[in-house]
Structure 1
Amino acid sequence: MNNSTVMNETIDIDEPRTISIFGYELIREVLLPEILGKDTPEILYWAGKRLARKYPLMDLEQIIDFFAKASWGQLKLVKENKTEFQFELISPLIISRVKSKAEHFFQLEAGFLAQQIELQKEANAETFEHPIKKSNKVVFTVKWEKN
């Protein structure tokens, strides 16, 4: 997290914090779609990629740590092969989103993962989201290929 003193100086992950689900949902599920309109998923994906370029991370552990610090949830690598990663994301903040809506937007996280893997693997990468209602989680599949 090279360029950010905000991440390093203001966030102490050992300090107990609570996040209002209402406040999080208000911004994420009401305000952003209202402002961005029908292009919300695409814009959030590219915004995630931009965030990843602003906070380039060196390895998967740093990506997992970033997700925790950003309150996006607990990210876990569950499957890996030579051109694909599969991650699971679990968080109390996403349970209501996974359960209640027909349309889910986890594109900010998807774009962030795609760009981080692209930077780390030096290859073109794309991430696909798969909200899983029964287990209250989101699965991300990141695929990459060398240029």
Structure 2
Amino acid sequence: MTNGEENLNIPGSVSGFGYELIRHDLLGDLFGREQEDILYWGGKMLARKYPLATFEEIITFFENAGWGTLVVNEEKKQEFHLTLSSELISYRHIHKKEVSYQLEAGFIAMQIQQQIDVVAETYEEKNKRNDKIKFLVKWDLKDPIRD
């Protein structure tokens, strides 16, 4: 059993309130203006710690981590358009909470990078009118990962 699989079986659950306290209140105060950059690199670090072999595994990881439901809306030659939704995201939207999803963006970028061996980046598309988070994942097949 891998480290990731062991962690999926931890008993109990964290309330949305508890998650918000840590993720947005505490980390926001600790990281300040650098929060988005730190969260993006933190997401990449988590992806290195929990490497996944397929995009379906990424979707399952998001659900198990409580990050939401990740859906591929469009797949092109060197990019994906994704949507992330959850009850917590809807709650944040209704209550007009400004939240960064750079942790998730960094995680997606590194997972794709590890799966196809080229540099990948994920961009959070700002959309004030929707209770879903949109991501654009891009990569360049001419920019391979160097060992």
Give the Å deviation of 1:98: 3.5
Residue aligning to 2:106: 111
Q: 2:36 aligns with which of 36, 41, 54?
A: 41
**Is it true that 1:141 corresponds to 2:103 in the alignment?**
no
Mapped partners of 2:19, 2:59: distance in 1? 20
Q: Percent identity?
A: 47
TM-score (ref. length: structure 2): 0.86
Q: 2:6 aligns with which of 4, 9, 15?
A: 9
Give the Å deviation of 1:106: 0.1
Residue aligning to 1:51: 46
Number of residue-to-residue matches in the alignment:
141
- The answer as to whether partners of 1:98 and 1:131 remain within 8 angstroms in 2 is no
Specify whether residues 96 and 115 from structure 1 end up closer, same or farther in structure 2 by C-alpha distance, changes over 3 A only.
Answer: same
How big is the alpha-carbon RMSD for the aligned residues of Structure 1 and Structure 2?
Answer: 2.1
- The answer as to whether partners of 2:93 and 2:130 remain within 8 angstroms in 1 is no
TM-score (ref. length: structure 1): 0.86
Residue aligning to 1:26: 21
Give the Å deviation of 1:24: 1.4
What is the DSSP-based 3-state SS (H/G/I as helix, E as strand, rest coil) of the residue aligned with 1:132? coil
Flag as ranges the 4+ runs of structure 1 deviating above 6 A.
none
Specify whether residues 96 and 131 from structure 1 end up closer, same or farther in structure 2 by C-alpha distance, changes over 3 A only.
Answer: farther
Mapped partners of 1:39, 1:48: distance in 2? 14
Specify whether residues 64 and 19 from structure 1 end up closer, same or farther in structure 2 by C-alpha distance, changes over 3 A only.
Answer: same
Give ranges in structure 2 of 5+ residues lacking alignment: none
Residue aligning to 1:62: 57
- The answer as to whether partners of 1:104 and 1:131 remain within 8 angstroms in 2 is no
For residues 88-123 of structure 1, give each alpha carbon's deviation from its aligned partner in whole angstroms, at most 9, with x where no partner exists: 10001122333413x431000000000011111111
Mapped partners of 2:33, 2:68: distance in 1? 26
